[in-house]
Amino acid sequence: MNALVFLSSQQVDAEPLVTGDVIADHVGLSHHAVNSTINKYLTIIKRKGNGHVTFEMQRTEAGRLRKVYLLNEKQSSFLITLFKNTAQVVDFKDQLNEEFYAMQRELIERRAQFELGKQFSKSLHATIADSQIKMHGHEYSTFNRLIYKQALGVDSTKLRKARDIPKGEAITMYLSSDEAEAVRLVKNRVEALLDVGMDYQQIKQALQIKGVVYKVTLQLPVKN
């Protein structure tokens, strides 16, 4: 894959998109020609995006601003039908379809993991509340930090900062399917260890023996 498709955000309800510039590069047309085609059929393209089409303004090397369209699967598929079916266009269409399909599958898995994770979180919260562990009202947040550290190799505070997750929003909305599965697995382990009467330190040691489930590398957001 050549990473033709990207997500509108890191959230589980993100939408897969492709830029007009990527389409231009792969169908052998100029960016201006593709933008002109989009503008000509803008009414139809908007209809395939629930009444709107997304774009962003980018600055060229010459310092000028130009519009770059961000198209969803239906919009990009319609746009490509307007071009001649050269071998290059047909090959690109096939690649794009494959990437949209792969991204949709990933989003379905992420959403399923998110819903499953909510159930595990409720169960874990109840188990912690029923345990004899007392941390001045911070029992769940303390265990949550431990869980993320053991699941992904980073604590929840650093993960929230690195992915620019707004305060009050669930971190699980910003996890890949593999990351969410790792978190769910560690939550399950913690709940099982609580059920047999282990305290926080004992649980921490037991988890460390198992090691990190799915190591992630974080990149802090660039400050403008």
CB 69 within 8 A of CB 19: yes
pLDDT tens-digit readout, 5-34: 999 988 888 999 999 999 999 999 999 999
Phi/psi at 108 (5° precision): -60, -45
pLDDT at 118 over 90: no
Structure token pair of residue 83: 């071009």
Which pairs count as long-range contacts for 97-104, CB under 8 Å and 24+ apart, including other chains?
98/1, 99/1, 99/3, 99/4, 99/5, 99/16, 100/5, 100/16, 100/18, 100/73, 102/1, 102/5, 103/5, 103/7, 103/16, 104/16, 104/73
pLDDT tens-digit readout, 145-166: 999 999 999 888 888 888 889 8
Which pairs count as long-range contacts for 177-180, CB under 8 Å and 24+ apart, including other chains?
177/106, 177/109, 177/110, 177/112, 177/113, 178/214, 179/151, 179/152, 179/214, 179/216, 180/110, 180/113, 180/114, 180/116, 180/117
* pTM for the full predicted model: 0.73
Q: What is the rounded average pLDDT for all residues in the chain?
A: 90
Over residues 30-41, mean pLDDT:
97
pLDDT of residue 150: 93
Q: Where is pLDDT greater, at 170 or 23?
A: 23
pLDDT at 223 over 80: no
Task: Give, as one character, the DSSP assignment of residue 166.
Answer: P
pLDDT band at residue 168, thresholds of 50, 70 and 90?
confident
Residue-wise DSSP of 10-60: SSTT--EEEEHHHHHHHHT--HHHHHHHHHHTHHHHHHTTTT--EEEEEE-
| Range of weakest confidence among 120-129, 174-183, 213-222 | 213-222
pLDDT tens-digit readout, 55-102: 999 988 888 899 999 999 999 999 999 999 999 999 999 999 999 999
pLDDT of residue 204: 94
pLDDT of residue 60: 84
pLDDT at 53 over 60: yes
pLDDT of residue 62: 86
Give the separation between CA 16 and CA 6, rounded to whole angstroms: 6
DSSP-based three-state secondary structure for 87: helix
pLDDT at 1 over 70: no
pLDDT of residue 89: 96
